[in-house]
Amino acid sequence: MTTVILLALTGLGLAALYFLVASGLSLVFGLADVLNFAHGLFLGVGAYATWWAAGNLPGAGSDGFGFVVAVAFGVLAGALVAVLVELVLIRPLYSRTIEQVLVTVGLSLAGVALLQATWGADARPFPRPEWTRQVTSILGANVPNGGLLLIVAAVLVLGALLAFLRWTRYGLVIRAGVENREMVTALGIDVRKAFTLVFAIGGAAAALAGALGSVYFGTVSPGQGGSLLIFAFIVVVIGGMGSVVGSAYAAVAVGLLQQFVNYYAVQYHEDLSGAGDICVVALLAVVLLLRPQGLAGKVATA
């Protein structure tokens, strides 16, 4: 029973990380219809900006309030890079899907190369607060505090996003734009400002995932955004394009499935360490076959 509790909570920690990355992807695709393959760059920027701030920014540090300041700096850096990418590279290409894909893929590769050129290709130890290195006993299971931090952060981000989308003017514009962008434009609302805001929110969420994910793993590396982005895209597709709640459901399903299958598959045979990833892809295939619109997506009508 203790093993099941530990796997469930660590799986939820992984799910929280996936959700933080996927939430911004889902909003950007739902409103702007952009498959942003450079989203992993925002994660990397957030992780490295937090890592740099913890050792160099006045008032920031690796523990206590100083770590909060370092994370805030990383989140701000990710949001600013996302806004810059939207204004300079994405905005001229909103009606040109192929070019969007090529530009964002190229930017993702260039971003990784830039991070490697600046800080090297090797993973670096991340300045984690001391309490995140410890564990908390829950029903007999010793759960890493880094995973619990991710869960709390994901719940707070989900609540904040839902409150923003439901009770603010720009949130209503974004929700309406996801449903019918042409109607919103016809009403005289400048959807482009909403596009920029959505990119900023997505970049901030990805940067937060980069900072807290580095706390969870204990290191920061240039390529970590790319590997997480693959599962984030899977979460977005399973949850339903443009649905934040759907992404949350899908992240939980993917995180738990991956964690449980990887553990029990290795117990059965040591060569099956990647079985969880295969099962996640199989889940994606099943969802696409049985419910192409995703768990929370709407059926397209003619």
First-to-last CA distance in the chain? 50
Among all chains, which residue has been given the structure tokens 């739902």?
30
To the question of pTM greater than 0.85 for the whole model, the response is yes
| Residue 159 in tokens | 């609540």
State residue 251's pLDDT score: 93
Concatenate the DSSP letters of all residues of 118-187 into one string. Answer: HH-SS-EE----GGGGSEEEETTEEEEHHHHHHHHHHHHHHHHHHHHHHHSHHHHHHHHHHH-HHHHHHT
Give the angle 181-184-188 at the CA atoms, nearest 5°: 135
pLDDT in tens, the chain (302 residues): 788 889 999 999 999 999 999 988 888 877 667 788 888 899 999 999 999 998 888 777 677 788 888 999 999 999 999 999 988 888 887 777 788 888 988 988 898 888 888 888 888 888 888 888 888 888 788 888 888 999 999 999 999 988 988 888 877 777 776 666 677 777 677 777 778 888 899 999 999 999 999 988 888 988 888 878 888 989 998 988 778 888 999 999 999 999 998 888 877 766 667 788 888 889 999 998 888 887 776 544 33
